[in-house]
Amino acid sequence: MNHGKYRVIISFLVLPVLIYGVFVVSPYLQTFYISLTNWRGYSTNPPFIGFGNYTALFKDDVFWQALLHNGILLVVLPVAVIVMSLFFAFMLNAAGRKKGAIAGVPGSGIYRVVYFFPYVLSVAIVGILWVNIYNPINGLLNGFLKIIGLGHVQPTWLGDPNLAIWAVMAAMVWNFVGFYVVLFTAGMQSIPNEIYEAALLDGAGRAQTFFSVTLPLLWGNVQTSLVYMGILALDGFAIIQIMTNGGPNNSTQVIATYLYQTAFNYGQFGYASAMGVVLFLFTLILAAITLRVTRRDTVEF
């Protein structure tokens, strides 16, 4: 049985481990070291400055602003996306009645396909599309306002420091709701119909069914989604970089865009890496909190 076992193990693992080690593990580890240097990309032996970058970060207003925006994304995005997609998924799976049994509302099949459209587009394309939708002169949105008689309300959307971050967030919600509708649909379809039938016989309405049956049984999925959305909210690079590049006046700056600009526009690689490390710590803390907060007794069925 074991003839040639190690030869197989080594020959199957050597390439994946090599590629993974060179392009993933080593960069992540190097980030820690580079963050302690004053590297600007020229010398091979950059000056070591200890925690200098970190103390500078601490005094950097833009960094704090970016962090605040990540925080806003972290709270608003998961709540908006998960509430909306739970509502839609419930409608598509358990709000209709068909011959006494629970089913989706009419047209569910079509909705499920259509809602996923925005998610199959690349994030960059979503960004470009929405820049044009928000365009104050020839954009879809202000054109719509004109049509419904609100021609005097013509916001500049992405040009307005107070509106820009919300406009970007709306595009993100648009991008992601469909994915979570499908995800929650898969979860809801694995809930046995008998449980719903029992609730129905006991006279439970839709809202009651949702809160007492669907949500508790779906809690595992909601928890996973929170983690995913959390990671997403800490990133947001492509869409923000394309839509606003962090502006106007850093009003949409997040760590990812600030890190990129610091490194590749200004060549401050050490400083940028320090941001990466801070974010690494945030990611760890976030994961720990999410797991704690959402821990509940899993309902078996």
Partner 1 sequence: MTTTKSERKQNSAGAAATTGAGQGSRPSGTGGSGRAQKSRGAASGGPDGMLWVAQFALIIWALISTIPLLWAMVSSFKSNKEIVASPWSLPSRLNWDNFVRAWNEAHIGQYFLNTVVVVGGGVVLTMVFSAMAAYVFARYEFPGKRLLYYGFIAGMTFPVFMAVVPLFFVVKNLGMISTYHGLILVYVAYSLPFSVFFLTSFFKTLPVAVAEAAIMDGASHYRVFFSVMLPMAKPGLISIGIFNFIGQWNQYLLPLVLVPDESKYVLAQGLANLAVNQGYKSDISGLFAGLTIAILPILVVYVIFQRRVQAGMTAGAMK
Site for partner 1 in 108-167 (CB under 8 A): 108-125, 127-133, 137-140, 142-144, 147
Q: Which is nearer to partner 1, 50 or 100 (CB)?
A: 100
Question: Interaction with partner 1 in 63-102: which residues (CB under 8 A)?
Answer: 84, 87-88, 91-93, 95-101
Q: Which of 158, 253, 269, 290 binds partner 1 (CB under 8 A)?
A: 269
217 is an interface residue for partner 1 by CB under 8 A: no
Say how far residue 14 (Cα) sits from the centre of its chain: 33
172 is an interface residue for partner 1 by CB under 8 A: no
Q: Which is nearer to partner 1, 1 or 61 (CB)?
A: 1
279 is an interface residue for partner 1 by CB under 8 A: yes
231 is an interface residue for partner 1 by CB under 8 A: yes
Q: Which residue has the tokens 């983690």?
A: 227
> What residue spans of 148-217 are helical by DSSP H?
164-189, 193-201, 206-209, 215-217
What span, in angstroms and rounded, lies between the C-alpha atoms of 269 and 40? 6
- Tell me the per-residue interface mask from 28 to 67 with partner 1, x by CB under 8 A, - otherwise: x-xx--x------x--------------------------
Q: Which helix (H) or strand (E) holds 145?
A: helix 140-147
Q: How many residues bind partner 1 (CB under 8 A)?
A: 118
107 is an interface residue for partner 1 by CB under 8 A: yes
What span, in angstroms and rounded, lies between the C-alpha atoms of 222 and 226? 6
CB-facing half-sphere around the CA of 49: CA atoms within 13 A: 17
CB-facing half-sphere around the CA of 144: CA atoms within 13 A: 7
215 is an interface residue for partner 1 by CB under 8 A: no
Question: Interaction with partner 1 in 173-192: which residues (CB under 8 A)?
Answer: 174, 177-179, 182-183, 186-187, 189-190
Strand ranges inside the chain, DSSP E: 96-98, 101-103
What span, in angstroms and rounded, lies between the C-alpha atoms of 25 and 90? 41
22 is an interface residue for partner 1 by CB under 8 A: yes
- Read off the amino acid at residue 15: L
Q: Which is nearer to partner 1, 16 or 50 (CB)?
A: 16
Q: Which is nearer to partner 1, 65 or 221 (CB)?
A: 221
CA distance from start to end of the chain? 40
Q: Which of 168, 251, 256, 290 binds partner 1 (CB under 8 A)?
A: 256
Query: How does DSSP classify residue 37?
Result: B
- Residue 97: strand, helix, or coil: strand
Q: Which is nearer to partner 1, 119 or 219 (CB)?
A: 119
To partner 1, the closest distance from the beta carbon of 165 in angstroms equals 19
- Residue 292: strand, helix, or coil: helix
- Return the bridge partners of 96, or none: 103
Burial degree of 21 (CB within 10 A; 0-12, 13-18, 19+): exposed
20 is an interface residue for partner 1 by CB under 8 A: yes
What span, in angstroms and rounded, lies between the C-alpha atoms of 131 and 157? 9
To partner 1, the closest distance from the beta carbon of 264 in angstroms equals 7
235 is an interface residue for partner 1 by CB under 8 A: yes
Q: Which is nearer to partner 1, 12 or 48 (CB)?
A: 12
259 is an interface residue for partner 1 by CB under 8 A: yes
